[in-house]
């Protein structure tokens, strides 16, 4: 029996055609209460998607719809996120004598729409009653790492395109300067242990 039984793994996709939120043609201001948080974009093949360091999914720093497909043409997802859950055991793995928690043994977290999520940036240090997550919430390492194994192979146009996406420009060549290679190199060298690389695709 596995210690944590996965109960929920659902993505809540909200398509623009069904969205009845605020007017999207007007660029929104950065949300309140986001000091210390950071955004990062994933661009692969012909789409991009934005995510925030505290777990908010698919909404850009400028308040725009989070996913664009095809790139630089239209936004196809307003907001999404991941809901996950499991059974909480105390003391040890269940096969080694661990007991199911007496209070709320089934626990769910994640997010659904807009900022409706229960996550914070950072990691848990320690274990049991002494476990603490607040020590790392303001740590500069608590962010989303952008890993590009192929950054040394990028053409000048690819670098400008990347910068245009990161700066939420209207076209692939809108940015005037490309991100320095040191940015990619720094994230690659500081990548947390256990993460999976994304290989080059065209």
What does the pLDDT look like over 76-126, one tens digit per residue?
888 888 888 999 998 888 899 999 999 999 999 888 776 677 788 888 888
Instruction: Record the pTM.
Output: 0.65
How many helices (DSSP H) and strands (DSSP E) are in the chain?
Answer: 2, 10
What does the pLDDT look like over 144-185, one tens digit per residue?
888 888 888 888 888 888 889 888 888 988 888 877 777 788
CB 2 within 8 A of CB 98: no
How distant, in Å, are the alpha carbons of 61, 172, 179 from that of 167?
A: 9, 11, 10
The Cα–Cα gap between 181 and 151 comes to 7
**Boundaries of every domain in the chain:** 1-20+40-143, 145-192
Q: Which residues pair with 67 in a beta bridge?
A: 49, 77
How distant, in Å, are the alpha carbons of 10, 20, 50, 115, 184 from that of 17?
A: 20, 8, 19, 20, 36
């Amino acid at each position: 029996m596995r210690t944590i039984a996965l109960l929920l793994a659902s993505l809540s996709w909200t398509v623009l055609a069904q969205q009845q939120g605020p007017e999207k043609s007007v660029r929104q201001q950065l949300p309140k209460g986001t000091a210390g948080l950071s955004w990062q974009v994933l661009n692969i093949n012909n789409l991009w998607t934005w995510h925030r360091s505290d777990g908010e999914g698919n909404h850009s720093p400028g308040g725009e719809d989070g996913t664009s497909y095809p790139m630089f043409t239209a936004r196809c997802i307003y907001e999404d996120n991941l809901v996950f859950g499991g059974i909480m055991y105390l003391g040890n793995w269940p096969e080694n004598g661990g007991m199911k928690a007496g209070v709320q043994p089934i626990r769910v977290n994640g997010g659904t729409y807009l900022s409706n999520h229960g996550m914070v940036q950072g990691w848990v240090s320690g274990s049991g009653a002494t476990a603490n997550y607040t020590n790392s919430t303001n740590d500069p390492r608590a962010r989303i790492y952008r890993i590009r194994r192929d950054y040394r192979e990028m053409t000048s146009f690819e670098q400008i395109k990347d910068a245009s996406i990161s700066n939420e420009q209207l076209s692939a060549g809108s940015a005037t300067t490309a991100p320095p290679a040191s940015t990619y190199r720094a994230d690659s060298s500081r990548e947390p242990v256990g993460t999976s690389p994304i290989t080059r695709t065209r």
